[in-house]
Amino acid sequence: MRARQIVLLAVLLSVLSGVFLYSRNLSAQPPTLYWGSTGGDVSRVQSRLRDWGYYKGPVDGIYGADTAAAVRSFQAKNGLAVDGVVGPSTWAALGFNVGRPATYQPSRGVSARDDVYLLARVVNGEAANEPYLGKVAVAAVILNRVESDQFPNTLAGVIYQPNAFESITNGVANAAPSDESVRAAQDAMNGWDPTQGALFFWNPAKPVSKWIWSRPIVTQIGAHVFAR
């Protein structure tokens, strides 16, 4: 009997340990990186920056002058604070998941492929001339609205909400999306949110309602500003 109790206790401790580790992994956030940091997270940043043409040095996991310069160049190009520090906003802009579920779940009765295409059409209509990061950002805003209790809880509901998107109202979004817009939609569905949870975007050079300027602005990417 005593042996059986010991076995049951060991199993219980194992389960509780697994739950604890799982909870820690769910809440884990990428660390803030700066000059002098080392390790695998630095290598991830170096690799991504090299893939995108900002970094020419070795992927050695050492955050030195070349890495800092590449980070500052990336931040300047993408409307981020140019401080050479990889914090939450820079992690998100680099395409690493920060705060969004890893995979978008399509609505009941709708395939993921259909949702990607629908989202890509709006991205193409709203951000055809924007940089790739700007396209992902527009897609992320739409997905953030789906998750917010301020908007309809389906992708189609958000997109076809009256007067929500100019490209839907004027029919521009009915055109077939570019391959880049499709990739941007898929990247956003896979968790990339360069806007840090923004719910609104607009072009300051165009006439917009005074109300929209009351929203707290998070960042600017290309011609669009993004706000919560």
Residue 4 has a pLDDT of 56
User: What does the alpha-carbon distance between residue 228 and residue 93 come to, in Å, rounded to a whole number?
Assistant: 17
Instruction: Return the CATH architecture of domain 40-93.
Output: Orthogonal Bundle (1.10)
The residue ranges of every structural domain in the chain are: 40-93, 112-227
Q: What does the block give as tokens for 162?
A: 């009256």
Q: State pLDDT tens for residues 131-147.
A: 999 999 999 999 999 99
Residue 107 has a pLDDT of 61
Residue 103 has a pLDDT of 56
Instruction: Return the CATH architecture of domain 112-227.
Output: Orthogonal Bundle (1.10)
Q: How many CB atoms lie within 10 A of CB 18?
A: 10
What residue type is 8 in one-letter code? L
Residues of the chain with pLDDT under 70: 1-29, 97-111
Same fold, 40-93 and 112-227: no
Residue 18 has a pLDDT of 41
Residue 5 has a pLDDT of 53
Residue 51 has a pLDDT of 85
Q: State pLDDT tens for residues 93-119.
A: 887 755 555 556 666 555 677 889 999
